[in-house]
Amino acid sequence: MWNPLVFPIFFLVHFAICLNCFVCNSSVDPGCLDGEFQAHILNLDVRPSPCSVRDAKFCIKTTTIYGGKRLNQFYVSAIMGTTRFCSSKHLGDQCQYVDFPDHDRIYQACVFTCENDACNAARSRLRDLCVCFVFLIITIPAMDTRLLF
């Protein structure tokens, strides 16, 4: 016998256990790059999506960076690429230096693994601004009370 409540319950259970990750490749979609490399990109439509990988429990972000140059007192790296995807295996959090015999560049390849929805996102400038704003709200009143005494 068919129960009309079975379908809604199945629908809710299915989406409750589905991990959502960012899935992209910066060689195809420049919006996949990390935040500091997105300043020149107008289309940032990369959104988390339900994982289609069987038994996906982890979101992964890989980056490949090579050298860079000194700009004033800062060392600026040049990023080669970023991929974000779902995985059923924990790939760890590590970086390695890789060199190739045909040229003198040394690359840094990094893998970051996390297990929450949309945790493989780029660093958000908005989040950084929120942290700065909260910090200012906390410190300004403290500074005012010190000036009174």
R_g over Cα of the chain? 21
Residue 3 lies in a domain: no
Boundaries of domain holding 70: 19-122
Query: pLDDT-based confidence at 59, cuts 50/70/90?
Result: very high
Residue 144 lies in a domain: no
Residue 43 lies in a domain: yes
- Average of pLDDT values for 24-49? 75
Number of domains in the chain: 1
Percent of the chain with pLDDT over 70: 55
Q: What is the CATH number of the domain that holds 74?
A: 2.10.60.10
Query: pLDDT-based confidence at 93, cuts 50/70/90?
Result: very high
Supply the DSSP string of 2-52, one letter for each residue.
Answer: --TTHHHHHHHHHHHS--EEE-EETTT-GGGS-GGG-TT-S-----EEE--
Q: Is the dihedral of CA 38, 44, 47, 53 positive or negative?
A: negative
Residue 11 lies in a domain: no
pLDDT digit string, tens, across residues 101-122: 887 778 899 999 999 999 999 7
Residue 133 lies in a domain: no
pLDDT given for residue 20 in this prediction: 97
- pLDDT of 16 > 80? The answer is no
- pLDDT of 149 > 60? The answer is no
Residue 136 lies in a domain: no
